[in-house]
Structure 1
Amino acid sequence: MWNELNDEKKEQYKRYILGFASLTECFKQKKDESQTTIPMVHSKYQEKAFQRAFDATCEDVGNTSYDASLIQQVSNDSEIRYLIGIKTFQYKLGESFQKIAQFKKNHGDWIDRLEQIRKSENLKERRDLQKSIAEDVSRLRNLRIDSSRENLKGFNFDPKDSIKEVYHILSPLFDEKEGPIIKVGEKNLEKIDIQKIEILEEEKQKVENFIFSDGKNVYKFTSADSQLWMKFKDIQEMTGIIDWSVQYVEDPFKVFETLGSKKDDQVIESHSWRIGKNGKIERYSGFNAFNAVSSKNPKQLEKKLLKLKEKYRGKIDDSFFDRLDRDVKMGNSEKERPKKEEERNRILENVEQIGNADFLRDVRKLICRDPNEMYIGIPKAKKFHKLYPDFFVPDLGNKIITGADKKNRKKQSFRIVFEPSKDIIEAYLTQDSGKAVESVARQTDLGEWILRKVFQLKEYEVLTHERLDELGINGIRVQKYKGSNSIHLHFIWIDDDHLPDDYWG
């Protein structure tokens, strides 16, 4: 990746890093007058410096394998999209484990097995249990990688372009001859080959912590907070790029005396919220709008059912049509929805067993909505539009037009830029109090990408908190940038114990 990046931006990034590292003497923990201080680079600063220097997008989702993404033009008609894990750790001869993911929300999935491992005195039994946990953790990590790839690809991905995953690494050290140095390297970021997982060893004092390999890389699972670590070898055995010499500032505190604070004026307005309503994911609306009852009225459904009977007369047993008839006549109230969903699922299971693909397709059209139907919900929309009337469309919040009247779509429409792919779609506000964001051309345009790709759901698979925990995504951030009327949308992770400053909920 490094060789493909713009030279001026690389120099800017180098200045950011060396500027921070030059202040290392400020952070000494003990009085030490020797000149063997190892340069300090704070990991969060490194991420921000990289993002700023290369115009990279922050991968602001929970415990993701990536910290940034960027799109690099390599020719007039092709580009490389990079997903980047940013690491900084002290240079050591040999190997070093570094945390690459955390699955705290999924800890309950294997807590019983961890307890069995603790109690078992049988090595083979422990190995089998450890391997099953390693496979589960690896599946979740691979799922997050797939989701992140699709998020970066967006919905207009050109087959000529490519996606690459890489670790970008800074490794500080003090060299006896060269003095303070930061080594720059990179390493491929790969999915775990689940079929080739082997347990290598376990900790003697805590057997539920163990090391495993997939033949390409070595990993460590630690039961506390369900963390996954990977072994990084000596940086010289990676793709070593360059050494940066660090010059320490003689009196770093004088630098701070001249510094003031200034807000980043690129983002002029930002709001984030949890996916779902009041902490719960709606089962029949929002991202699961496809799971609601058919949008056709009962009389329309009855007419279509009669046509279906006629089409398949003699081919399909009448008992199936009796069940379809009962489903069509069932009520659509909130209380009746779960019963209707259960009946609908039973009907589809029975139809699938018949093995007639055309009949299955026609039945789905009759009793189901489009599998890609969804919308992005705005919590407390009425209050949001009153407080921020100009966010989506100037002054729209003061005169929000409700409903999906096609005549009003243009007045309520705006451009959404999806980060990090930079794909753009025309969207508009609709439903009561402007509580929903839908794509203008087809309501299903968003679903084809978000449900299938970002959330990695199969058709008619309902989005749940469990899936969001697996992906490390549970929120949305919408932002406006200076000089632009577009709305930039990010899928993010929101920590309930540390809500972001722009939280709306």
Structure 2
Amino acid sequence: MFFELQKKERQELYKEMLYAVGALSRLSSESSIPYLGYREVENIFCLAFGAENLSRSDCSADASKDRIGIGIKTFLNGKGRTLQKIAEFNRDNSLFRGKTPREIVYTISNLRNERIRATKRIHGLDELIYHCVVREEGKIKVFECSMDEIYIKGIKNIDAGTKNIIAFEDGKNEYSINLSKSTLYKRFITENVLLGIDVNIIENPFEVLRNLIKVSAGKLKFAAIVKEKEHIFLPLFSDKGGRHVPERSGLNQWNAKGRPRDPNEIYIPIPAWIHQKFPNFFPPREQPFNLLLPDGKVLNAKICQDGGKALMSNPNLALGKWLLRTVMNLKERELLTYSKLEELGLDSVVVYKESDQVYTINFTEIGSYDNFYEENK
């Protein structure tokens, strides 16, 4: 699916790095099963294969390369048929709280499917897969499987016999919902193993590392501390009169009264306090700059309107085509609502300042702007 498409040297590098981390398991575990933290595996994967790391993004993929999105799972193999968490719906639990088991299954299944579709749209992906790194006694195994949407028409065998747990199938996969945690699980079956690594766990890794540093002490160079990129968060909503997406401005600017407007005409609102707190973040009003999208496309953009309250593209329609059509999957002249944002699990964007002329933009999970506001206002 993905691994077999990569060059042999990259596959070998990946194998070597997994082995190295597994061999150092005694740094944090006394088990004879190699220990691999999920963050370490994500970083190793991206480094070995030259993939983009999406693990900090609020989406269904942890990495992407060549228009393939990869969900990276790390878990104990057990008997080769283990249930693993694939999605959380804490922010959406009001949509299914108190419903019948059948209603809960269908609601969560549809939410899950829309997140998968949104991930594809936002990051310009053609397919999504799972890359699974499983651990057992003295060994690491790797296999891959498709990240399927839940087949709604095939849902069957809904079983709510266990307290707070609802199990079901869709003809392709087995799933389980933990109601107390608002979490969806999928059963992963270890088969068609692509890579098997025998791991000899080092008994005293601390001594090995100490000696390694001693031997190379004369050559060690410490990298300069790199500060985090300068960035701000922008809301896709308004709190005036309750949280909502305004019907005639912002992302629904196309619906404003007056002159006829193109259905893709929008802008991302910039609250006044952003300019006050970060006066030099954006270029002066009407001065163009490049805005890089998550899928690699570049838009010409600028700050517009009185008080610099709008982030717009030039032509103005380009931003709307990407955000409303590609990402939100809205039909022309269909209003964007806050409910739609909640359904997708996002309500703000983060903008990074790469240079005075280059900025990048990406979506952030619900609550990101609120936290940014509390920290800076």
TM-score between both structures, scaled by the size of structure 2 = 0.85
User: How far apart in 2 are the matches of 1:453 and 1:171?
Assistant: 35
1-side partners of 2:179 and 2:277: how far apart? 41
Work out whether 1:67 is the aligned partner of 2:62.
yes
Q: Which has the higher helix share?
A: 1
Shift of 1:282: 4.0
Q: Which residue identity does 1:183 align to in structure 2? A: K
- Matches for 1:163-312 after TM superposition, within 5 Å: 163-174=126-137, 180-204=138-162, 206=163, 208-233=164-189, 235=190, 237=191, 239-254=192-207, 265=226, 268-277=229-238, 280-283=243-246, 284-294=248-258, 296=259
- What is the DSSP-based 3-state SS (H/G/I as helix, E as strand, rest coil) of the residue aligned with 2:35? coil
Query: Structure with the greater relative contact order (CA < 8 A, sep ≥ 6): 1 or 2?
Result: 1
Aligned residue among 449, 465, 470 for 2:322:
449
Give the CA deviation at 1:445: 1.4
- The whole-number CA distance in structure 2 between the counterparts of 1:289 and 1:26 is 55
- Alignment equivalent of 1:50, drawn from 41, 45, 48: 45
Point out where structure 2 has 5 or more consecutive residues left out of the alignment.
214-219
- 1:53-72 CA-to-partner distances (Å, cap 9, x unmatched) read 4231415444x32222222x
Name structure 1 gaps, 5 residues minimum: 72-80, 114-128, 154-161, 175-179, 297-364, 402-408
Task: Please state how far the C-alpha of 1:97 moved relative to its aligned partner.
Answer: 0.6
Hey, what's the Cα distance between the residues in 2 that align with 1:377 and 1:277?
A: 9
Give identity over the alignment, percent.
29
Alignment of 1:474 onto 2:347:
yes
Root-mean-square deviation (CA), in Å?
3.1
Could you tell me which residue of structure 2 aligns to residue 146 of structure 1?
Answer: 117
Change in Cα spacing, 1:189 to 1:202, as seen in structure 2 (3 Å) is same
| Residue matched to 2:32 | 37
Q: CA deviation at 1:448?
A: 1.5
| CA 1:468–1:497: 2 relative to 1, 3 Å | closer
* SS in structure 1 of the partner of residue 323 of structure 2: helix
Give, in angstroms, the shift of residue 163 of structure 1: 1.2
Change (3 A) 1:50 1:271: farther
Question: Aligned pair 1:488/2:363, yes or no?
Answer: no
Equivalent positions of 1:79-94 (< 5 A) are 81-94=67-80
CA contact (8 A) 1:61 1:472 kept: no
CA pair 43-463 structure 1, distance change in 2 beyond 3 A: same
Q: How far apart are residue 276 of structure 1 and its match?
A: 2.7
Tell me how far apart the structure 2 counterparts of residues 5 and 266 of structure 1 sit (CA, whole Å).
33
The answer as to whether partners of 2:128 and 2:146 remain within 8 angstroms in 1 is: yes
Mapped partners of 1:43, 1:148: distance in 2: 20
In the superposition, the TM-score normalised over structure 1's length comes to 0.65
Deviation by residue 1:395-444 (Cα, 9 ceiling, x = unmatched): x3xxx33xxxxxxx4xx11111111x111111111122323221112x12
1:133 aligns with 104
The change in CA–CA distance for 1:243 and 1:50 in structure 2 (over 3 A counts) is same
Larger radius of gyration between Structure 1 and Structure 2: 1
1:110 to 1:189, Cα distance in 2 relative to 1, 3 A: same
Matches of 2:52 and 2:12, distance apart in 1: 15
For the 8 Å contact 1:417–1:486, the answer to whether it is kept is yes
CA pair 461-501 structure 1, distance change in 2 beyond 3 A: closer
CA distance in 2, matches of 1:256, 1:501: 43
